C-alpha cells in the first residue's frame, strides 16, 4: 500500500512536470485562424522627442469577437505589455468605439472582424542614428464565439532613427483606426435616476428624430448598468433620451456616468455611426524604462520577470506558511490529534497516512486550479478563493465542520463504512480519512493568502495550463510538507506520546476551534444572503445536529429501530444538501454604500477620477471570508495613527469588497498580477501605485504614507 501511495504522489509530480514543459513550449496560444495579430508604426522612422503612434492590429475570424475595455457581462479586454528601449514611454490604449454583441442571455461589448488599438509612444530627447529602435509587445486576449479561447501573440518591430515621416504603406490603416475613435462630446449630457433606472438626457436640438436609427451607451464602469437590458431610446425636439436599467438598484445612484455614446444617423450616403466620449477617460502615465525593460508599472515588471522555477519556489514557501494561518488551524488540530492517535502504530502505517494526506492536498489543489483555469478561459471574472463567493459552498463547509466538531465532542461516531474526518477515520486503515482531511485542509486554506503566494498564483493564471498546474502543485506540496515530514521522520514519531485516556479530553478540546470556524462561516454567509437565506442556513445547522443525534441513537437501538434512525439521519442530510443548494437564490441585494469613517466604497470610475486629479489614494481590496484581510484591517489599517496619517496627507481610502463577485475588483487584481485578496495599493498622485505587502503592520503602512507630503495632502483635501 505504501508503494501505491508513493507512486500516486510521484505520478502526480511527473505528470505536472511533463505538462509544464509542454506548456512552456506552447505558451498561451489560440488556433492561428481565430486571431491574426500584427504590430505597425505610423512613421517610417523615429526621431528623438518626437511622439509617434503604434497600432496593434487584430483580425478576428468571422463569427468570433474580442472585447472592449469594459467587456460587458463576460470576457476580458486585450492587454499589451511593452518591452521598449531605455527612455521610451508607452501611453494608454486608445479604444475604438465598441458594439453590443449578444451571446445567449448575456451582452458583451467588443469588436468583430477587425480592430486596431492605437498606442502613443514618446521617445527620449536624443537617439543614436546608428542604433535602430527595437520594440516588442506581448498581446494577451480572449476571443469568443459561444465558447471562449484565451490567446497571446509576441509582436516585434524595428524602426530606424531618422526623419519621422508617415509610412505610406500604413497610412490608410491609421486613418481607419482614428475614424472609429470616440471624439470629445459636443452635446451636453444630464444624468438622473429614478428607482431602478438611469436616464440620460442629451441636449441635441439640431438632431432630427426621423434620421436617428439607434443609440447605445457604453459605460466605462463594469457594474453601473444591466448590460443585457434593452436601452430605451426616444428623440424629440430637445435631443436624445436613453433609459438604462441599473445593475444594483439598492446601491447609491451614481452622480456621473463616464462612457461612450454611439448614435446611428441616416445620411444621404447611408448610415453614419457617431461616437462621443463623456467624462475623462483615464490616461495613466507610464514610467520611464531603465535599460531594455517593459514600460509598465514596477509591479508588472517584477511579475513578468517570474519564471516557472521562481514562481514554483514562491508557491512552495507560501504553502508552508499557510500552515501557520488562522484559517487552517482547525484542520491542523485534527491532524495533530490523528498523528497522536497513530503514534502507537507501526512506522509503515503512519507513513501511509502522511502519503494519503499529501495525495488529498495535491488532488484538491489541482482540482480547484483546473476549475479556476477553465472558468477564466470561458471569460469568467474570478480569482483564487472564488468558491467562497458561492453561498452554497460556504454553507456546505459550515455544515461539514459542524459535523466534524460534533464527532470530536463525542456526540456521534462514524463507523467503518463511512469516510470519516479526524476522529471518524475508517476502522480498517483510516487512509480515506487522511486523504479527505487533506482535501478539507485545502478548502479551508483558500480564504488565506500567505506571503509569496499572491505573486505566484497571479503568475500561474497568466500562463499555459501545464505551467499553472505545476505552480499550484508546488503550493499544495508546501501545505502538505510539515505533516508529511512528521510521518516520514522516525525520531519525530518516537517523540509523540502514546495513545491513552487523555486523548478523549484533547479531542473534545480541539472541537472548539472547529466550532469557532463554523461561527465565522455563518458570519460570512450573512454578508452574502438575505434574512430568509440566513434563516434557512441556520436551520441547516440544526438539521446537521439532528442527523448526528439520530445516527448515534440508531447505533444503540435494536436492528430495526437502528436502521430507521440511521435512515432518518441520511434523509436529514439530503435535506441539508437541498437547503445549501437553495441559498444561491437568496443572495442579498447589495446595500447602498456611502463613505463611513473616512472610507469610501471602491469603484473603478472613482479611482480613475482621483488618479486623473493626481490625488493620493489608498485602495484596500478585501473580502469577508479573507481572514488575513480582517487581521490586517484590525491591526494595521484601523489604528488611530494610520487614520491620522491618511487624513493629514489628504489620502482618499477606497475599500473594495470581493465577498461576492465583482468584475471591477477582479480586473484590478489581475492588472497587478494577483488572483485573490488582499491587495493594497497606494497611489501617490500618479497612475503607478506602490503595492504594499499582503501581511501588514502599522509601521509598514505609516512608512508607505511617509512618501506623501503633508502639505500636498492638505491642499488636496481642501480642494474637494
Which residue has cell 437568496? 586
Topology given in CATH for the domain delimited by 184-278: Immunoglobulin-like (2.60.40)
What percent of the chain has a predicted confidence (pLDDT) above 90? 29
User: In the CATH hierarchy, which top-level class contains the domain 599-718?
Assistant: alpha beta
| Predicted pLDDT of residue 95 | 96
Q: State yes or no: pLDDT of 720 exceeds 50.
A: no
The DSSP letter of residue 708 is S
Run of H or E residues at 571 = helix 559-582
Question: Could you give the CA distance from residue 294 to residue 74 in angstroms, rounded to a whole number?
Answer: 28
Which pLDDT band, with edges at 50, 70 and 90, does 541 fall under? Answer: very high
Residue 4 pLDDT exceeds 50: no
Higher pLDDT, 597 or 572: 572
Question: Which of 5-14, 261-270, 590-599 is the least confident region?
Answer: 5-14
What mean pLDDT is predicted for residues 651-673?
A: 84
In sequence order, what are the beta bridge partners of 617?
A: 652, 683
* Percentage of the chain exceeding pLDDT 70: 78
User: Averaged over 196-210, what is the pLDDT?
Assistant: 89
- How high is the pLDDT of residue 292? 37
> CB of 682 within 8 A of CB of 703?
no
Mean pLDDT of 711-720: 42
Identify whether the C-beta of residue 24 lies closer than 8 Å to the C-beta of residue 464: yes
pLDDT at 330 over 80: no
Fold classification of 35-179 is Immunoglobulin-like (2.60.40)
CATH 3.40.30.10 domain residues, the chain:
599-718
Q: What is the pLDDT of residues 234-248, one digit of tens each?
A: 999 889 999 999 988
For the chain, the distance separating the N- and C-terminal CA atoms, rounded to the nearest angstrom, is 70
Q: What is the mean pLDDT of residues 413-441?
A: 56
d(CA 713, CA 720) in angstroms, rounded, equals 11
The three cell numbers of residue 187 are 452635446
CA separation for the pair 79, 61 (Å, rounded): 19
Q: What's residue 309's pLDDT?
A: 81
Mean pLDDT, to the nearest integer, of 492-520?
Answer: 75
- 347/99: higher pLDDT: 99
Task: For residue 116, give the C-alpha cell.
Answer: 486596431
Mean of pLDDT values over 369-396: 73
**Does the pLDDT of residue 360 top 60, yes or no?**
yes
The answer to whether residue 475 scores a pLDDT higher than 70 is: yes
Question: For residues 113 and 60, is the Cβ–Cβ distance under 8 A?
Answer: yes
Residue 35 main-chain phi, psi, to 5 deg: -140, 125
- pLDDT exceeds cutoff 50 at 16: no
Res. 562: pLDDT tops 70: yes
Tell me: cis bond preceding 678? Omega within 30 of 0 counts. Answer: yes
> For position 451, what pLDDT does the model report?
59
Q: Please give the pLDDT value at position 612.
A: 79
Q: What is the DSSP string of 458-513?
A: HHHTTS-HHHHHHHHHHHHHHHHHHHHHHHH-HHHHHHSPPP-THHHHHHHHHHHH
What one-character DSSP code corresponds to residue 210?
G
* Section 476-503 average pLDDT: 75
Q: What mean pLDDT comes out for the span 514-527?
A: 87
Report pLDDT for 386: 66
What pLDDT is stored for residue 717 in this prediction?
A: 40
Residue with cell 441636449: 203
Residues whose CB falls within 8 Å of the CB of residue 613, separated by 6 or more in sequence, listed in order: none
Closest CA to 573 of 552, 547, 539, 538: 547
Q: Among 434-438, 525-529, 615-619, whose mean pLDDT is lowest?
A: 434-438
Predicted local confidence at residue 535, as pLDDT: 92
If you average pLDDT over each of 46-60, 540-554, 658-672, which comes out highest?
A: 46-60
Q: In which residue ranges of the chain is CATH 2.60.40.1250 found?
A: 35-179
- The mean per-residue pLDDT over the stretch 394-422 comes to 70
Where does 223-346 have alpha helices with state H? 298-304, 308-322, 329-341
Considering only residues 420 and 191, tell me which one the structure prediction assigns the higher pLDDT. Answer: 191
| SS (HEC) of 22-62 | HHHHHCCCCCCCCEEEEEEECECCECCCCCEEEEEEEEECC
pLDDT-derived band of residue 197, with 50, 70 and 90 as boundaries? very high
Question: How much is the pLDDT for 627?
Answer: 75
Q: Is the pLDDT of residue 439 over 70?
A: yes
For range 261-282, the mean pLDDT: 83
Write down the pLDDT at residue 489.
Answer: 78
The pLDDT of residue 36 is above 70: yes
More confident position, 341 or 676: 676
pLDDT of 446: 65
Pick 400 or 457 by higher pLDDT: 400
Give the H or E element holding residue 694: none
CA dihedral 492, 495, 500, 503 (to 10 degrees): -60
Find the helix or strand (DSSP H, E) in which 382 lies: none
Crossing angle, helix 559-582 and helix 391-408, to 10 degrees? 150
Q: Tell me the mean pLDDT in the region 602-611.
A: 84
* pLDDT above 60 for 144: yes
- The dihedral built from the CA positions of residue 100, 104, 106 and 108, taken in this order, carries a sign that is negative
Contacts of 439 (CB under 8 A, 6+ apart): 360, 361, 363, 364
* Mean pLDDT along residues 676-703: 87
Share the mean pLDDT of the chain: 79
| CB contact at 8 A, 266 and 213 | yes
Question: What is the rounded CA–CA span in Å between residue 589 and residue 493?
Answer: 52
Residue 325 has what pLDDT? 67
Residue 198's DSSP bridge partners are: 193, 244
Distance CA 109, CA 65 (A): 9
Half-sphere exposure of 435 (CA within 13 A, CB side): 12
Task: Identify which has the larger pLDDT, 398 or 66.
Answer: 66
Amino acid at each position: 500500500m505504501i508503494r501505491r501511495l508513493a507512486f500516486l504522489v510521484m505520478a502526480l509530480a511527473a505528470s505536472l512536470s511533463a505538462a509544464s514543459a509542454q506548456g512552456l513550449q506552447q505558451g498561451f496560444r489560440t488556433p492561428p485562424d481565430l486571431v491574426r495579430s500584427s504590430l505597425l508604426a505610423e512613421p517610417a522612422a523615429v526621431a528623438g522627442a518626437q511622439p509617434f503612434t503604434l497600432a496593434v492590429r487584430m483580425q478576428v475570424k468571422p463569427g468570433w469577437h474580442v472585447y472592449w475595455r469594459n467587456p460587458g457581462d463576460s470576457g476580458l479586454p486585450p492587454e499589451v505589455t511593452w518591452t521598449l528601449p531605455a527612455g521610451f514611454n508607452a501611453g494608454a490604449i486608445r479604444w475604438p468605439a465598441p458594439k453590443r454583441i449578444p451571446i445567449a442571455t448575456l451582452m458583451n461589448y467588443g469588436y468583430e472582424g477587425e480592430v486596431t488599438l492605437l498606442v502613443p509612444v514618446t521617445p527620449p530627447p536624443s537617439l543614436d542614428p546608428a542604433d535602430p529602435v527595437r520594440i516588442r509587445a506581448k498581446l494577451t486576449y480572449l476571443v469568443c464565439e459561444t465558447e471562449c479561447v484565451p490567446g497571446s501573440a509576441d509582436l516585434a518591430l524595428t524602426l530606424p532613427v531618422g526623419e519621422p515621416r508617415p509610412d505610406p504603406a500604413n497610412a490608410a490603416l491609421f486613418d481607419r483606426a482614428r475614424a472609429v475613435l470616440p471624439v470629445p462630446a459636443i452635446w451636453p449630457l444630464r444624468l438622473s435616476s429614478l428607482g431602478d433606472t438611469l436616464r440620460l438626457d442629451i441636449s441635441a436640438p439640431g438632431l432630427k428624430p426621423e434620421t436617428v436609427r439607434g443609440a447605445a451607451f457604453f459605460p466605462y464602469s463594469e457594474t453601473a448598468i444591466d448590460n443585457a437590458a434593452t436601452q430605451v431610446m426616444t428623440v424629440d425636439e430637445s435631443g436624445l433620451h436613453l433609459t438604462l436599467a441599473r445593475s444594483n438598484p439598492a446601491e447609491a445612484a451614481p452622480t456621473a456616468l463616464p462612457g461612450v455614446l454611439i448614435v446611428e444617423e441616416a445620411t444621404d450616403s447611408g448610415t453614419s455611426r457617431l461616437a462621443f466620449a463623456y467624462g475623462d477617460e483615464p490616461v495613466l502615465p507610464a514610467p520611464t524604462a531603465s535599460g531594455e525593460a517593459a514600460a509598465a508599472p514596477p509591479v508588472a515588471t517584477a511579475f513578468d520577470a517570474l519564471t516557472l522555477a521562481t514562481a514554483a519556489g514562491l508557491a512552495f514557501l507560501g504553502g508552508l506558511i499557510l500552515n501557520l494561518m488562522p484559517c487552517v488551524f482547525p484542520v491542523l488540530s485534527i491532524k495533530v490529534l490523528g498523528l497522536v492517535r497513530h503514534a502507537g502504530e507501526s512506522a509503515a502505517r503512519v507513513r501511509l497516512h502522511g502519503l494519503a494526506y499529501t495525495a488529498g492536498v495535491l488532488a484538491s489543489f489541482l482540482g480547484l486550479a483546473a476549475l479556476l483555469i477553465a472558468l477564466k478561459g470561458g471569460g469568467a471574472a474570478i480569482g483564487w478563493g472564488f468558491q467562497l463567493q458561492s453561498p452554497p459552498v460556504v454553507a456546505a463547509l459550515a455544515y461539514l465542520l459542524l459535523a466534524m466538531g460534533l464527532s470530536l465532542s463525542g456526540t456521534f461516531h462514524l463507523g467503518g463504512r463511512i469516510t470519516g474526518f479526524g476522529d471518524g477515520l475508517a476502522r480498517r486503515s483510516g487512509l480515506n480519512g487522511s486523504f479527505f482531511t487533506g482535501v478539507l485542509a485545502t478548502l479551508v486554506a483558500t480564504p488565506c493568502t500567505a506571503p509569496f503566494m499572491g505573486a505566484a498564483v497571479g503568475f500561474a493564471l497568466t500562463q499555459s495550463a501545464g505551467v499553472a498546474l505545476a505552480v499550484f502543485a508546488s503550493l499544495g506540496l508546501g501545505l502538505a510538507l510539515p505533516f508529511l515530514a512528521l510521518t516520514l521522520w522516525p525520531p519525530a514519531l518516537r517523540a509523540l506520546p502514546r495513545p491513552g485516556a487523555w486523548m478523549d479530553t484533547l479531542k473534545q478540546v480541539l472541537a472548539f476551534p472547529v466550532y469557532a470556524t463554523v461561527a465565522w462561516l455563518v458570519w460570512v454567509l450573512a454578508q452574502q444572503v438575505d434574512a430568509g437565506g440566513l434563516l434557512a442556513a441556520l436551520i441547516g445547522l440544526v438539521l446537521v445536529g439532528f442527523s448526528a443525534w439520530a445516527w448515534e441513537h440508531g447505533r444503540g437501538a435494536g436492528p430495526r429501530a437502528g436502521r430507521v434512525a440511521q435512515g432518518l439521519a441520511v434523509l436529514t442530510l439530503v435535506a441539508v444538501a437541498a437547503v445549501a443548494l437553495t441559498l444561491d437564490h437568496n443572495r442579498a441585494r447589495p446595500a447602498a454604500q456611502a463613505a463611513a469613517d473616512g472610507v469610501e466604497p471602491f469603484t473603478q470610475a472613482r479611482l480613475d477620477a482621483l488618479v486623473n486629479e493626481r490625488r493620493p489614494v489608498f485602495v484596500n481590496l478585501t473580502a469577508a471570508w479573507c481572514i488575513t484581510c480582517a487581521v490586517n484591517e484590525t491591526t494595521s489599517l484601523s489604528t488611530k495613527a494610520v487614520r491620522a496619517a491618511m487624513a493629514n496627507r489628504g489620502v482618499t481610502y477606497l475599500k473594495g469588497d470581493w465577498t461576492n463577485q465583482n468584475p471591477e475588483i477582479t480586473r484590478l487584481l489581475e492588472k497587478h498580477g494577483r488572483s485573490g485578496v488582499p491587495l493594497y495599493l497606494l497611489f501617490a498622485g500618479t497612475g503607478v501605485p506602490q503595492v504594499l505587502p499582503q501581511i501588514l503592520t502599522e509601521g509598514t503602512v505609516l512608512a508607505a504614507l511617509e512618501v506623501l507630503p503633508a502639505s500636498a495632502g492638505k491642499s488636496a483635501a481642501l480642494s474637494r
